[in-house]
Amino acid sequence: MKKKVTFVITKANWGGAQRYVFDLATALQNDFDVQVAFGQEGLLAKKLHEAGITTSPIRALQRDVSLSADVKSFFELYRLFKKERPDVVHLNSSKAGGVGALAARLAGIKKIIFTVHGLPEDEARSAVGKILIQLATRLTVALCDTIITISKNNHDRVHGSVLIYNGIAPMQFGSGEIIRNAFPVGVHITGTVGELTKNKNQAALIELAKRNQAMYVAIVGEGEDRAMLEQKIKEYGLEARVKLFGFMPAAEVLKGFDTFALPSIKEGLPYVLLEAKHAGLPIVANRVGGVGEILDAPDMSDFTLQKMVQKTAALY
C-alpha cells in the first residue's frame, strides 16, 4: 500500500515554493498517494488539477496575519489531517508551516516535514517584527520532525536541517521574440522574471533605468506590486524603456534578455536563476539566500530535479 503524503502551501499562485510543490507532487504520484492542500486559488491549483493531483482548498489559509483566519485555517487543516490520516505532512511557506505543524502534531501525524523556502526573518521588518518572526519560525521547527533547507546559507542557520537543493529538468527555450519585439532593434535588454512583490524588488531596476538613459528593462511576472511599479514607470516617463509583460513562463522569455537581473532582497534558492544560468545568460544579482551558491557553482549537477526528488522521497 502506498504511503499517503499531504503537501500544504499557503498560496496556490505560481512562485518558487509553488513550483517546488508541483514538481514533487507530480514526480512522486506514481510511488505515493499524493494530495495538496492550499489557501488562495491560482495557477498552481489549475496545474495540479490538470496533472490529476488530488487537492483540498483550505479557504481561510492566507499569507497576511489574521487571528480569526489563522484559527479557522488551523481547524480546517486539523479536520483534513484527521480525515485523511496521511503518513507524511509536508509543509511549505511560513504561514502553512506554522499553522500546519501545530494542526498535524495535534492530529497525531507521524511524520511532519517543513521546507524552508528562505527565512522570513530576512525580510525587511521592524526589530520587534524580526524577533517575533524568528520565534514563530523556531516554534515551527520544534513542531516538525524534519526540516529541509534549499540553500547552504539557510542550512547553516537552521540547526539540524537537511540540505536539498531545488532542481530543474533539462529545458527547451523559446526565441524570446515577444520581449525583443517590444523594444527598439539592437538595444541591450536587462530582464527579470518573478512575482511582483517587495521581496523581489523589481522597483530597483526601474530606479536604475531612471538614472541610465541607455537602459532597457523587461519585467516578467504578476503580483501585488504591479500597480506601484506601473506608477513608477509612468511617473519617471519610462514607458518606452521599461515594460511589464505579465506572467509568462521563464523558458519562453529568457532568450529575449541580454542580461538577467535578480534584485531580490530575500531568496531561498531561486528556480529562475537556475534557468537563467542554464540559458547561458550573463547574470547580475544580489547575493541573498542561496543566490551565491548558484552563481559560484562550476556546473548544474547539484541542481537537478532528479536529485531533488530522490533525496526528498528518501525522507518519507
pTM score of the predicted model: 0.91
**8 Å CB contact between 39 and 73:** yes
**8 Å CB contact between 150 and 166:** yes
Residue range 216-225, pLDDT digits in tens? 999 999 999 9
Task: Name residue 85's amino acid.
Answer: R
- Averaged pLDDT, 135-150: 91
- Is it the case that residue 116 has pLDDT exceeding 70? yes
Nearest CA among 257, 245, 242 for reference residue 206:
242
- Is it the case that residue 65 has pLDDT exceeding 80? no
Output the CATH code of domain 4-163: 3.40.50.2000
Judge: domain 177-295, CATH 3.40.50.410. no
Same fold for the pair 4-163 and 177-295 = yes
Domain borders along the chain are 4-163, 177-295
Nearest CA among 190, 220, 25, 8 for reference residue 117:
8
Nearest CA among 275, 253, 232 for reference residue 190:
253
What does the DSSP 8-state code read for residue 173? -
What value does the mean pLDDT of the chain take?
Answer: 94
- Averaged pLDDT, 182-197: 97
